[in-house]
């Protein structure tokens, strides 16, 4: 998925997962967004295409009443002008370097451009060592890359729109924008790392080009004299050092580093015209700084382009799976199988409300005849399930879970369902609350009993009061259950 679509999808996910109370984006809005996106992209479109279109429609619709949310998305987009400003600023800085030596003299043992060469060589060594140590692994960005990312890739202050004045709605918008910022920073980090590296390599090359330009501009207007002085080095040692340091420039220009006698002749206070030394310095900067940095910038640019067009979309997450069920197979079909529980009308209404909330208003809910206590064999002979939607095993909290009964029922149900069908376990506590309305301790003990029983089977109990369901809590619990338990880790 491309960068801008991924940002919009991240914003849509932040809104739809944080707005549990549906203050900003109602169930009807969500159903509309899914239907409209499916109509636009067509039934044969790929999943990322459908999700990207749905995110675009969501932000367009929600921006009509809550403009601060799409404004936050725009603020999080990368600002290209920051990168170009850094590059141009580096070029200007290179040209503006005051002089290459004091009193228009070039000390061949200490020209400031040698510091530029040494710095870049150190950077190359650090990059090479880091690549070998990491061998392709991720690492946190350095301070310069982090600074570029903060300047160009982070939004400013959140807009306080008059339409978001209600305290609960304001808190929801704040939560959504905070989640968006956090999720996008994590998801875009590899892309921004490559982009920042490209900008910094360009800036280093521009700085070096500015230094070269400054050398020749000042050489046209002033006469620079070259010489050297040292307390500990003689002419032979100075010549050896210069031959190594200026070897790239000598190779490019064809100018040889003078011999020992010539080096001795320009020892301070003597000297000579700095023309050939400026040529050697400029060519060395070109070979050591400009060319390698441009190559590194090109490599970082290729990585950036690849990552910008292929940001990963975690389609396996329950949130995206929920969106795709309705797109791929039409309305979600849920099959409810109660065990030793004659579901009252109020509980059925609660099931319908939860299904509409979690899976969309067009979700189809089928409640089968209850399986009698101890009648698992008859249930096993009913045949396989159709494999077209989540299966819900419904228990009554007033019952005590038993391995020979409830456990056997779950084993049969697991064998009958398609492995691709999610299995959700609802434990209805409406009858328990009606019998013991004020006994919170007993309620907590019974819930723990069911939790432990189902955890042994790597299942999650979804505790609901179907007589008066807490829809946001049920939504969150079903999301957690669909995500599944964390994989077991081997002992060290």
DSSP 258: P
What's the count of helices (H) and strands (E) in the chain, helices before strands? 20, 8
Q: How far apart are CA 115 and CA 370, in angstroms?
A: 82
DSSP state string for 131-195: HHHHTT------HHHHHHHHHHH---SPP--GGG-SHHHHHHHHHHHHHHHHHHHHHHHHHHHHH
Rg (CA), the chain: 34
331 DSSP 8-state letter? S
Look at the block and give the residue holding tokens 């032979």: 236
Cβ contact 105:224 at 8 Å: yes
- At residue 339, φ and ψ (nearest 5 deg) are -120, 120
Closest CA to 288 of 239, 227, 244: 244
Categorise residue 425: left if φ over 0, alpha if ψ from -120 to 50, beta otherwise. Answer: beta
Task: Compute the CA torsion angle 28, 31, 33, 39 (nearest 10 deg).
Answer: -130
List, in sequence order, the alpha helices (H) in 234-344.
235-245, 247-253, 260-265, 275-285, 291-309, 318-329
Assigned fold of 331-483:
Rossmann fold (3.40.50)
> pLDDT by residue for the chain (492 residues), tens digit each?
899 999 999 999 999 888 888 888 888 888 888 889 988 988 788 889 999 999 999 999 998 888 988 999 998 888 888 889 999 999 999 888 755 555 567 778 876 778 888 899 998 998 888 777 765 555 556 666 666 666 666 654 444 444 444 458 888 888 899 999 989 988 988 899 899 999 999 999 999 999 888 888 877 877 888 888 888 888 899 899 889 988 998 999 889 989 999 888 888 888 888 888 889 989 999 999 999 999 999 999 999 999 998 888 888 787 887 788 767 666 678 889 999 998 899 999 999 888 888 877 667 788 888 989 888 888 877 766 665 678 899 999 999 999 999 999 998 888 887 777 788 999 999 999 988 888 889 999 999 999 999 999 888 899 999 999 888 888 888 877 876 654 443 333
- What is the C-alpha separation between 281 and 287, in angstroms, rounded? 10
Cβ-contact 263, 242 below 8 angstroms: yes
What residue segments make up the domains of the chain, in order of their start? 3-76, 80-171+189-309, 331-483
């Amino acid at each position: 998925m491309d960068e801008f679509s991924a940002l919009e999808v991240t914003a849509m996910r932040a809104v739809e997962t944080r707005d549990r109370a549906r203050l900003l984006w109602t169930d009807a809005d969500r159903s509309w967004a899914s239907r409209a996106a499916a109509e636009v992209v067509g039934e044969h479109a790929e999943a990322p295409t459908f999700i990207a279109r749905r995110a675009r429609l969501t932000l367009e619709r929600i921006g009509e009443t809550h403009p601060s949310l799409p404004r936050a998305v725009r603020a999080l987009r990368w600002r290209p002008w920051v990168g170009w400003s850094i590059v141009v600023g580096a070029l200007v800085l290179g040209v503006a370097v005051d002089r290459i030596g004091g009193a228009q003299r070039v000390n061949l043992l200490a020209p400031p451009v040698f510091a530029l060469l040494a710095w870049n060589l150190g950077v190359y060594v650090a990059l090479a060592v880091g690549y070998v140590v990491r061998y392709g692994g991720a690492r946190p960005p350095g301070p310069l890359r982090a600074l570029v990312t903060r300047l160009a890739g982070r939004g400013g202050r959140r807009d306080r729109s008059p339409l978001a004045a209600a305290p609960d709605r304001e808190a929801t918008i704040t939560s959504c924008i905070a989640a968006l910022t956090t999720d996008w920073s994590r998801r875009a980090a590899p892309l921004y790392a490559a982009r920042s590296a490209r900008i910094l390599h360009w800036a280093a090359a521009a700085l070096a080009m500015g230094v070269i330009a400054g050398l020749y501009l000042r050489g046209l207007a002033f006469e620079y004299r070259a010489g050297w002085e040292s307390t500990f080095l003689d002419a032979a040692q100075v010549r050896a050092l210069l031959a190594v340091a200026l070897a790239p420039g000598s190779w490019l220009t064809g100018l040889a580093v003078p011999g020992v006698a010539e080096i001795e002749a320009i020892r301070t206070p003597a000297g000579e015209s700095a023309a050939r030394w400026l040529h050697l310095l400029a060519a060395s900067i070109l070979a050591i700084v400009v060319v390698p940095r441009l190559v590194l910038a090109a490599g970082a640019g290729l990585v950036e382009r690849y990552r910008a067009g292929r940001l990963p979309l975690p389609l396996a997450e329950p949130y995206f799976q929920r969106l795709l069920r309705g797109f791929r197979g039409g309305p979600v079909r849920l099959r409810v199988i109660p065990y030793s529980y004659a579901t009252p009308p109020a509980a059925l209404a609660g099931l319908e409300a939860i299904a509409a909330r979690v899976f969309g208003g067009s979700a189809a809910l089928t409640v089968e005849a209850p399986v009698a206590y101890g009648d698992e064999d008859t249930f096993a002979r009913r045949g396989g399930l159709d494999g077209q939607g989540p299966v819900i095993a419904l228990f009554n909290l007033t019952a005590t879970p038993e391995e020979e009964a409830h456990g056997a029922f779950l084993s049969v149900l697991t064998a009958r369902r398609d492995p691709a069908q999610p299995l959700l376990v609802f434990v209805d506590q409406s009858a328990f609350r009606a019998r013991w309305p004020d006994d919170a301790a007993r309620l907590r003990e019974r819930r723990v009993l069911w939790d432990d029983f189902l955890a042994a089977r790597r299942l999650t109990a979804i505790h609901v009061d179907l007589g008066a369901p807490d829809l946001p809590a049920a939504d969150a619990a079903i999301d957690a259950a669909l995500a599944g338990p964390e994989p077991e880790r081997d002992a060290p």
